[in-house]
């Protein structure tokens, strides 16, 4: 009687299950990486939008001049970029730092994945303008 050799070119059931389990772990890890990348990209985009808004606002204030500033707090929420999440708020507080110099504080608050983030910016605007 002749002995037949088993064909070893295929995979056993155990090898197949181990391969599927390993592939599932790798796919789950990649999914977490992609989700985190998307979240960080969104967070960076929101921060970039808030920063661009504040810098534009400060530039407008500087161009308008010291004489147009009035002390107090003003809401800037209606001027925020529409790309920021709903419910975002912004305010500007102008206070007199010393004679001929006003301190301007601008704050932008937005929510990103159930976390509140606040971007604060402080600058000074003087009677003599920038560089004097």
Residue pointed to by tokens 């002390």: 71
Is 105 within 8 Å of 79 (Cβ atoms)? no
Which residues lie below 8 Å from residue 19, measured CB to CB, with a gap of 6+? 11
pLDDT grade, residue 127 (50/70/90)? confident
Residue 33: CA count within 13 A, CB half-sphere: 6
Q: How much is the pLDDT for 128?
A: 76
Q: In whole angstroms, give the CA distance from residue 74 to residue 61.
A: 13
Per domain, the residue ranges of the chain are: 13-126
CA angle 128, 130, 132 (to 5 degrees): 50
- Tell me the per-residue pLDDT of 49-76, one tens digit each, with 9 for 90 and over: 999 999 999 999 999 888 899 999 999 9
Bridge partners (DSSP) listed for residue 92: 74, 106
- Tell me the per-residue pLDDT of 69-126, one tens digit each, with 9 for 90 and over: 999 999 999 999 999 999 999 999 999 988 889 999 999 999 988 889 999 999 999 8
Instruction: State pTM to two decimals.
Output: 0.73
Q: How much is the pLDDT for 7?
A: 58
Bridge partners (DSSP) listed for residue 111: 116
Q: How much is the pLDDT for 3?
A: 60
CA 108 to chain centre: 12
């Amino acid at each position: 009687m002749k002995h037949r050799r088993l064909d070893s070119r295929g995979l056993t059931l155990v090898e197949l299950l181990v391969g599927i389990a390993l592939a599932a772990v790798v796919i789950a890890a990649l999914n977490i990486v992609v989700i985190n990348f998307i979240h960080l990209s969104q967070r960076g985009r929101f921060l970039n939008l808030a920063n661009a808004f504040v810098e534009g606002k400060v530039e407008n204030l500087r161009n308008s001049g010291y004489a147009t500033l009035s002390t107090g707090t003003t809401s800037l929420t209606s001027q925020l970029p529409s790309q920021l999440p709903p419910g975002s708020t912004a305010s500007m507080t102008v206070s007199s730092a010393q004679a001929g110099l006003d301190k301007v504080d601008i704050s932008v608050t937005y929510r990103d994945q159930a976390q509140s983030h606040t971007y604060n910016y402080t600058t000074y605007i003087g009677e003599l303008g920038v560089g004097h």
